[in-house]
Structure 1
Amino acid sequence: MTDSSYLDVTADAYDAVATLYAEFVRNALDDVPLDRAVLAAFAELVRGTGPVAELGCGPGLVTAHLRDLGVDVSGVDLSPVMIDIARATYPDLRFEVGSMDALDLADDHLRGVVSWYSIIHVPPGEVPAYFAEFRRVLAPGGHLLLAFFEAEGDPVTPFDHRVTTAYRWPIDDLAKLATDAGFREIGRMLREPLEEERFRRGHLLMH
């Protein structure tokens, strides 16, 4: 049986800092042209094909960015307070409370899934179950975009994320788990940390 206690810990931790976190990430896409390029490539692949979900959407910044790129997108997050903030900030978008490993969606419902730094708090042994759920809700031919902290040659490594424990992943290891779940890699991007960032950023685009 899956130990889901980390879900409560994560939800409570984000609830506690939601307002500060939302302000902290408000301009998070402004100075990262490579990150925006990855999102733009994903948007071009899924635009006009059907519904897309950002899973672990937080205060809704990336969901709204994808909307602005013409994507039919909604957001899901574990934190009720984060969802309240997202709904208040972007009242024209749909946001729901939910867990990425047990989505209230039919099989093959989505044409795209974005997990933008949202699997980082999942214990490594539980990640395959999340990828299986992503595969379940994605229609054949759908696309998955992952963003995460890259381990830079180290094994999967926990670190002291500002909110709650998170994990850095070697990009090859995460890509293999997604492949094992039925995805095929289209491309990847590694970005070196900005001056105020600690770790390299990894991005995987899967089909």
Structure 2
Amino acid sequence: MSSAVTDTAPRAAATADAYDAIATLYAELPRDQLPLERALFDAYAEHVRAGAAGPVAELGCGPGPITRQLTDLGLDAYGVDLSPVMVDLARAAYPELRFEVGSMDALDLPDGALRGIVSWYSIIHATPQELPSYLAEFARVLATGGHLLLGFFEAEGGPVAAFDHKVTTAYRWPVDELAALAADAGFVELGRMLREPGEGERFRRGHLLMRRA
């Protein structure tokens, strides 16, 4: 195991504990998507379906609704989450789907095993020092030509900034800086979408659609 993975383990365990503690409440939150986000998932699924067949992993799947959505879009999707309680809730809600406990920066997968990865606001708790190791792991398990969809809180022109997420400390990223880190890990940007905060939201939302080079 690399030193980068080892260094992330204590924070990963703390994050898992934090989500375990609020998992039932978290699963009850409304998750209606805005039209821009639904269109983004449609575009992502179309890109994946156009390539070779293979599994798509939602990394940081929580209680599972995005994994369900990806399956409804015709993808062979399954979910992975660091929180055992979240995985139990996902399995109870969607018993026909597959959910596993696992860490995004140390996946139990061979190189190139996946055709797609969705990380929907699940990299937000990685520190700036840790995030390159997560992106490197995404690149390792994603087949050449496979597709990555990232959702995150955008820094709105400022630097990377920590903020008081309701579960545990999270980070807002400038979209250009995050895209550059992903490029360093071996990804090619296909498109991006920024959405201004909606009612009850504090921050701009950022999204990157990328292909494994």
Equivalent-residue separation in structure 1 for 2:107 and 2:14 (angstroms): 19
Mapped to 2, the partners of 1:77 and 1:50 lie a distance apart of 20
SS of structure 1 residue aligned to 2:186: coil
The correspondence of residues 1-207 of structure 1 with structure 2, limited to 5 A, is: 1=3, 2-24=7-29, 27-28=30-31, 30-47=32-49, 49-207=53-211
Three-state SS of the structure 1 residue aligned to 2:28 is helix
Shift of residue 49, structure 1, vs aligned partner:
2.3
User: TM-score by structure 1 length?
Assistant: 0.96
Q: In the TM superposition, what whole-angstrom CA distance separates every residue of 1:83-102 from its partner, at most 9, and x where no partner exists?
A: 00000000011000000000
Cα deviation for residue 3 of structure 1 reads: 4.1
Residue type at the aligned position of 1:154: G
Cα distance in 2 between the residues matched to 1:169 and 1:131? 14
- Give the whole-Å Cα distance in 1 for the aligned partners of 2:110 and 2:38: 30
Deviation of residue 121 (structure 1)? 0.3
Offset, 1:31: 4.3
Aligned residues with identical type, % of pairs: 70
Paired amino acid for 2:53 = T
- Aligned length, in residue pairs: 204
- Runs (5+) with no aligned partner, structure 1: none
Give the RMSD, CA atoms, in angstroms.
0.9
Per the TM alignment, residue 45 of structure 1 is displaced from its structure 2 partner at its CA by: 1.1
Deviations, residues 94-141 of structure 1 (Å, cap 9, x unaligned):
000000000001111000000000000011111111111000101110
Give the structure-2-normalised TM-score: 0.94
Letter in 1 for 2:181: L
1:31-84 residue CA offsets vs partner (Å, 9 max, x unmatched):
411111111111111126211000000000111011111110000000000000
Paired with 1:179 and 1:63, the residues of 2 have a C-alpha distance of 26
Gaps of 5+ in 2: none
One-letter amino acid of the structure 2 residue matched with residue 44 of structure 1? E
1:128-182 C-alpha deviation (Å, 9 max, x unpaired) = 1111100010111000000000000110000000111000000000000000001
Match of 2:151, SS? Answer: strand
| Letter in structure 2 aligned against 1:109 | A
**Secondary structure of 1:158 counterpart:** strand
Q: Which runs of 4+ in 1 moved over 2 A?
A: none
